[in-house]
Structures are given as structure tokens and as C-alpha cells.
Amino acid sequence: MQIKKCPFVGICGGCQLDFSDEKYREKKLKTLPDLNFSHDAIWGDFGTRRRADFAFTDNHFGFFKKQSKDIVDIDSCPNLVHEINDILKDVAHLPWRGAGSVLITKCENGIDVSVNSDVPYFNADFRSAVEKLPAQIIRFTWNDSVARKYKEPEVKFNDKIVAYPSNAFLQPTIETEQILRDLVVKYVNGATRVADLFCGLGNFTFATNATGFDIVGNGIKRDLFKKPLSVANLNQYEVVIMDPPRAGAEKQSKELSKSNVKRIIYVSCNPTTFVRDKKILEKGGYKMTVGIPVDQFVGSSHWEIFSVLEK
């Protein structure tokens, strides 16, 4: 794939690194903490992001400028899938009023647009403009109020299709989602008693026939930040999968460190909280046997870390 230089490099704060730079990988590796990884980094491709968080203020739509709350007007981004770029100009030119964020997600059957704003509702002019948007946009919500909906957005994990709720968590690219899912399946290694914590919509749950636990999604409705699984709960399982938000899984790690679970597969999008939780687990006797950095957030300084910890 020919690398197209982004016209907003150094202006937009969406990417901290220029993915078109021939030394991109070298520079990105310098942002990675030294965790004695067992494998080389897995690299994602630019132009594959299926979701992006935009910002708006009165008559401005785009990404925040670097180290600023001002907005760079954007109606095309070379780091996004073409399906989003195909409708982005129309969304950018809506009569935006007030301020807020706009999450645009490419789903299996169309585009979902979700607005979150302190302005509680949209006016008639805005609804009229939304109704004229391209048909590829199958749902448009404002603070969970539906401005337009043609069908329920869906996402697919291998052959499993599930409904996509507005603002639900998804891995940023389909390619890296599949890579992580394949790694999880590999290291579950046929275990039959598996718990998938912070399971979301089920990216790992269905593929491993796991019991899922989460606040929302397709698992048992349980807030693992406030009420982590106890040692007695955990000891029912051979393998535990964890894929928490950026805040990590501190309380759950403390319970896990006292458990008899033989293998923990920890997928983290925040090396800082991963290191904290890893230390907790190590005090309980776990040792990281597999560590793989994944450049899932191309252009940013963020890394996804896939790890296996065993006792």
C-alpha cells in the first residue's frame, strides 16, 4: 500500500506520529515500555480505522488541534476506512450548534453516528439536515435520542453477528481485532472453563465459549470495577481473559493474585495500568510467559499489549 502523507501532520492532535514517515516504526518503538516482550511487535496498517471520535463547536467539526481545545476542520482522514471518509464531508457540514463529541463507527451493515453533547437535544433544522445524509448512515443518535434510524447496526466476530449499541467498545480495526482474537484462542489452548472479564460485545467470548462478565455487552451484567469476581468465583476457571478499559483492572487483579487460576490472558490498551496490574499479579506468584506489543492505534503513541501470565 502506498503511504499517503496526512495533510494535518503537526496540526491535528489525533495522531502523535506521522505514519507516512519511513522511520515511523522506529519512532513508535521508542514509545514502548521495556517489558521484556517475548515477541516482536505486530504492526497495523494506516487507513484501516473503523471508528473515530470527532469534536464539534458552533460550525466547526473535526479533531482537536495539537495541545489545544481548538478544532481542526476535517472532512477526510487518510487513517480512516474509506466508508467513513465517503460520508465524512456530509457529516462535517451539518449545522452544528453547541459543543460535544461525535463517534463515527463503521459497522457490518452501515455507518453509526453517535453525538454526545451538553446540549440535550437537536432542533428541527438539524434533524432535517440529518435526514438528508447519505443512506450509508443507518443510525444517527444525539444523547441517545434517535434522529434517524434505518436499521439496527451490527458487528461481526468471526461468524457471530451481534447488535451494536451506540458508543459501545470495539477494537479500532477489524484486522487487529482478528489478530488479538486469534492470539486469545491460541493461548486458551482448548480450555473449557474460561471467564472473559470486561468482555464487551464478545470479541473473545464467543470464540472461546467463555462466560462473559461486563457492565454492558453480551456478558453477565456486573461492574467489575466496583464488584470484581471473588477468589471463590475465579477458582472455578482454568483460564481468565481480561481486556479492561484504559483504567486497567486493579481491584480484579488483586483478587486474581490470590486465586488458583493457572493462566491469565491480559489484553491491555494502556501500558501504564498494565504494568501496575502486572506487578500485583506477580506478587501473587504469576509470571509473564508471553508478551506481544501490537500497533493497533496507528499514528498514535498508544500500544495494545497482549500478554499471558501463568502460575
Give the ranges where 213-270 is alpha helix by DSSP (H). Answer: 231-234, 250-257
Residues 3, 177, 217, 109, CA torsion sign: positive
Are 296 and 172 within 8 A, CB to CB? yes
Q: How far is CA 62 from CA 59, 102, 134, 303, in A?
A: 10, 9, 19, 24
Catalytic residue among 15, 77, 107, 269: 269
Residue 153 buriedness (CB in 10 A; 0-12 / 13-18 / 19+): buried
Residue 236 CB-half CA count within 13 A: 9
Are 187 and 265 within 8 A, CB to CB? yes
Helix (H) / strand (E) containing 276: helix 271-283
Residue 92's closest CA among 118, 72, 67, 68? 72
Residue 269 a catalytic site member: yes
Are 50 and 86 within 8 A, CB to CB? no
Separation of alpha carbons 261 and 81, rounded Å: 40
230 in helix, strand or coil?
coil
Q: How far is CA 54 from CA 14, 68, 168, 286, in A?
A: 9, 14, 16, 40
The total number of residues written for the chain in this structure: 311
* Three cell numbers, residue 176: 487487529
* Three cell numbers, residue 273: 495500568
| Residues with active-site annotation | 269
